[in-house]
A and B are shown apart, each in its own frame.
Chain A
Amino acid sequence: MKKPHADDKLRTRITDMSAFFHNNGRMPSFSELGEIFHLRSKSSVHKAVGKLETLGVISKDNRGRLIPGSIKSTVKLLGTVEAGFPSPAEEELADTISLDDMLIKNREATFLLKVSGDSMSGAGILPGDMVIVDKGQTPKSGDIVIAEVDGQWTMKYLRKRGEAVTLIPANPNYKPIKPKIDLKIAGVVTAVVRKLK
């Protein structure tokens, strides 16, 4: 059989001593400690007590009697739990995200843009708003995109029907755009931020 680890032995001794304290309401005497620790000689007990004293588990009064230290609360004794149980609140907080995390998916590909026109007002994007643009995403039909159509920059809904691509505004004062020569999509609008105060 494997020899018990020194730390394990120490831990058992502390638990046994603490059990004695809790059962009897007082600290054991040196001879009682001998029984608890399975030690025959007083000097071995003395040595063991010295070790526990340096660990702060117990201390001695001026007449040499033992005073309980950290063994008073059994939770602290077990060493491994000394760090404390995580509070339920902490556990819950592990599942929250910051506004940054919510608004930005791929930071390296994310850009800001200040809106100047009102062609997307129906989608809740107004002049002066900040939109977050992701250049890493592949634009899908229905996305709001920043695009260059025949040399002009615009922000519109992207609609794909088979081969045909149309840019649709969200404001009746503007007309849908069908690219004649070429269409370049600079990025997908993933969020709009409007700070009021």
Chain B
Amino acid sequence: MTPETTHETTGGQPLTIRSWPQAILHIDADAFFASCEQAIHPELKGRPVITGKERGIVAAASYEAKARGVKRGMRLFEVRQVCRDAVILPSDYETYSLFSIRMFEILRRFSPEVEEYSIDEAFVDLTGLRRTFHGSYGSIADKIRRTIERELGITASVGVSLSKVLAKIGSKHNKPNGTTIIPGRDIHLYLERLAVGSVWGIGANTAALLNKHGIYTALQFARKDEAFIKRYLSKPYQAIWRELNGRSVFGVITETKSTYQSISKAKTFTPPSADEAFVFSQVSKNLENACIKARRYKLAATRLIVFIRGQDYRNYGVELRIAPPSAHPYYLIEPLTEGFKKLYKTNILYRQTGVVLSGLVPDDGSGYTLFDDMVKIQKMVKIYEALDTLSAKYGKHTVHHGTSLLTKQQLQHEGDRQDIPVRKTALFKGENRRQRLGLPVLNIKV
């Protein structure tokens, strides 16, 4: 599959004549959340399906809904205006996660080198696998796509090329349910019509800078000489330039994420609230959630960012220092309160709060000074260990800080009760509200 341009009209020499020094595949599931819903509710296939009911905005829209003008992030009342027959469902993250894991497992049948890039995207190193699968990289890619469609009932788009950046261009080229193969000699054909700002990793600012130098397409960028690139751009962009020229720089990272630069937790609530105690309880719960994750990865924060978002979508944020580094809300509530007081204004309606733990360091006790109360810190470590054990056994927030209490006494979203996914309400004997079988359920009446 080559773009609808012929060789005569396109921009000259190939960027490289080596066809497959390495083969990287990028796979991107099509309208993932909405597709999962259509897979477990087969009667919804071919209909406009939208997820995100509990949030009041579109989290994902099926291709049928996109065709009607539904976009991500759109408010649901707007959706009903453009697409009256839209099926709007609450998000069922449990099912989506199961589908995600399955997609990665299927990829691992083909190659051990799989990078789980996000819930619905992955990179796979296919280099050298042509003989094993008796076919071209294109036929392997098609086989992967067909296996996912048959076993999971969802479609995905696939790109195969010499580098991650090029593979990503490929998977975007023919969406949905398409395969795009870009061998070395064809790279320039795909880059010619691609705006430089559409390349993975090139943001609006960099695109604007490149535009100033007369670079508008990805091909113009790729053809620039190294001296220019080194003079005007920093290391990550130099890497993108190499990748566009078919020289792989970003390897496929197979190990699952075990460390983080920062951990953030944010949550919206409806209706928006001006109640200080309630808004603070939301921030407090965000903090507890972020700390749970930090403790799971044995990390401690040295900086804490608090932000609250008004109904007008304006964000108000503040950053605070944490010493000694900690992942225990007991020590973080005080700076959190201080930060919150700076941000909070009466008579403003807020709709979202969030915290970011950053400057993360390994929680190995090396960050303490002579003046820290080690006995108390050790006590806290024990208390939170017990708390984490309780959570594992009885569910998250079985025991929580008093400051988060108000989040429990009021529904996160108005009308929340009818917005629970079917999987959590139609249970099999032996399942309960907290634990269910780790297999997706087909909602077919037979």
- Which A residues lie at the B interface, using CB under 8 A? 104, 106-117, 119, 130, 133, 135-136, 146, 148, 153-155, 186-187, 195
Contact with A along B111-152 (1 / 0, CB 8 A): 000000000000000000000000000000000000000111
**Residues A106 and B151 in contact, CB atoms below 8 Å apart:** yes
Q: Which residues of A contact B40 (CB under 8 A)?
A: 111
Q: Is the CB of A108 within 8 A of B152?
A: yes
Contacts of A106 in B (CB 8 A): 151
Q: Mark B138-172, 1 if CB is under 8 A from A, else 0.
A: 00000000000011110000000000000000000
B106 at the interface (CB under 8 A from A): yes
Decide: A112 near B446, CB < 8 A? Known: A130-B428, A148-B42: no
Residues of A within 8 A of B441 (CB): 111-114
14 further A-B pairs in the complex, CB-CB below 8 A; given A106-B151, A113-B442, A136-B150: A104-B439, A107-B102, A107-B439, A108-B102, A112-B437, A113-B446, A133-B442, A136-B151, A146-B446, A153-B445, A186-B444, A195-B428, A195-B429, A195-B430
Assess whether B105 is interfacial by the CB under 8 Å rule. Answer: yes
> Of B43, B151, B430, which one neighbours A153 at CB under 8 angstroms?
B43
Give the CA-CA distance A136 to B148 in the complex, in Å: 10
Residue in A108, A110, A136, A153 whose beta carbon sits within 8 Å of that of B444 in the complex: A153
- Min CB distance B29 to A, Å, is 14
A135 to B149, CA, bound (A): 10
**Chain B residues bordering chain A, tally (CB within 8 A):** 22
Closest residue on chain A to residue B427 by CB atoms: A114
Bound Cα distance from A104 to B429, whole angstroms: 19
Kindly count the residue-residue contacts between A and B in the assembled complex, taking CB atoms under 8 Å apart. Answer: 65
**Which A residues lie within 8 Å of B151 (CB)?**
106, 108-109, 135-136
Q: How far is the CA of A195 from the CA of B105 in the complex (A)?
A: 29
| Mask of B18-33 contacts with A, CB within 8 angstroms, 1/0 | 0000000000000000
CA distance A117 to B442 in the complex (A): 15
Q: Give the CA-CA distance A111 to B40 in the complex, in Å.
A: 9
Interface positions of B (Cβ within 8 A of A)? 40, 42-43, 102, 105-106, 150-153, 426, 428-430, 437, 439-442, 444-446
Instruction: Give the contacting residue for B446; candidates A107, A110, A111, A116; CB below 8 A.
Output: A116
Q: Are B442 and A116 in contact (CB under 8 A)?
A: no
CA A107 to CA B430, docked complex, whole Å: 20
17 A-B pairs within 8 Å (CB atoms) are namely A106-B151, A107-B102, A108-B105, A108-B152, A109-B152, A112-B428, A112-B437, A113-B442, A114-B426, A116-B445, A130-B428, A133-B442, A146-B442, A153-B444, A153-B445, A186-B444, A195-B430
CA distance A113 to B439 in the complex (A): 10
Residues A112 and B442 in contact in the complex (CB < 8 Å), given A130-B428, A195-B429: yes
The 8 A-B pairs of least Cβ separation, nearest first, read: A109-B151, A155-B446, A108-B102, A195-B429, A113-B442, A153-B444, A112-B441, A136-B151
Most buried by B among A106, A114, A115: A114
**Complex CA–CA separation, A116 to B441 (angstroms):** 14
* Least CB distance, B166 to chain A, in whole angstroms: 28
A115 touches B446 (CB 8 A): yes
Q: A135 to B153, Cβ gap below 8 A?
A: yes
Whether the Cβ atoms of A154 and B430 lie closer than 8 Å is no
From known contacts A108-B151, A154-B446, infer whether A114 and B439 are also in contact, taking CB-CB under 8 Å: no
In the complex, what residues of B have CB within 8 A of residue A154's CB?
Answer: 446
Q: Which of B43, B106, B429, B439 is within 8 Å of A111, CB to CB?
A: B439
Q: CA A112 – CA B431 in complex, angstroms?
A: 13
Q: How far is the CA of A112 from the CA of B444 in the complex (A)?
A: 10
A104 to B437, CA, bound (A): 13
Given the complex, which residues of A lie within 8 Å of B43, measured CB to CB? 153
- In this complex, what residue of B is CB-closest to A111? B442
Chain A residue nearest to B437 in the complex (CB): A112
The chain A residue sitting closest to B105, CB to CB, is: A108
Known A-B contacts A146-B446, A153-B444, A195-B428; the reply to A112 vs B439 at CB < 8 A is: yes
What's the Cα separation between A155 and B444 when bound, in Å? 10
Residues of B within 8 A of A187 (CB): 442
Interface centre among B150, B151, B152, B446 (most CB of A within 10 A): B446
Residues of A within 8 A of B42 (CB): 148, 153, 186
If A109-B151, A109-B152, A135-B150 touch, does A117 touch B439 (CB 8 Å cutoff)? no
Which B residue's beta carbon lies closest to that of A151?
A: B43
Q: Are B446 and A108 in contact (CB under 8 A)?
A: no
Nearest-CB distance from A171 to chain B (Å)? 13
